[in-house]
Amino acid sequence: MIFRKKKDELILDRNRLPRHIAFIMDGNGRWAKKRGLPRTAGHHEGGKALLKVLKKCNELGIEAITVFAFSTENWSRPKEEVEYLMKLPNQYIKTYLPKIKEANIKMNFIGFLDVLPEEMKENIRLAMQETKNNTGMIFTIALNYGAQDEILYAVKQIAREYHEGNITLEDITKEYFEKKLFTNDLPPIDFMVRTSGELRISNFLLWQIAYSELYFVPKLWPDFNEKELRKALIAYQKRKRRFGGIEGV
């Protein structure tokens, strides 16, 4: 049930929140352009918005959030922007790791991390090590990630196991396949949010969102605050999730 305050103001039912939310944090560059600033300024402000969303999700008791920070396709962006995006996770970890650790949030990273710069890989290891004993929300950052590449990577692992005689065709179930994905230790994704008004998934978590609720909002990511998060969660709670079935059956 969604309860109401005075003047019909909706409040959240904490018993019906999504366990796992995925965010496509789109619009940083457009936010900066509207203000006559370099695109890098938008990414900087986007980092601040992310911390606010993180804290609020953790306070609400949401188990996990996963954010799309850098895709396998982002390498084609202007050289200056790519260089900045490669430095941004380092800055983010150095600036916000103490606050994330204090908030009892556990950090996680997915994607093809081996090809990332050495300094970034070292900071990733640091962030995971420093928060590994935290018991709150799992905060996953997707870096150098592309869903089609992830699926292909999983298929190749399974094909190799089959070729070597370690599994049979009957062993290859949906559950077995999911164990080969980068998200195998995370709860199923209930809710995906994309900012900036774009109405596409952009090669993010294609397998994992098969039955996720999708939410598209025109706000640019740096403007996505606690109020916008609350509106998104209320929209989620209004929906009927049937997973291919019929309501009431």
The residues that are catalytic are 26, 74
Phi, psi angles (nearest 5°) of residue 216:
-115, 130
**Cβ 108 vs Cβ 136: under 8 Å:** no
Q: Going by C-beta distance under 8 Å and a sequence separation of 6 or more, which residues neighbour residue 30?
A: 42, 196, 220
State which H helix or E strand residue 151 sits in. Answer: helix 147-163
Q: How far apart are CA 196 and CA 28, in angstroms?
A: 9
CA 85 → CA 29, 46, 163, 185, distances in Å? 12, 12, 39, 27
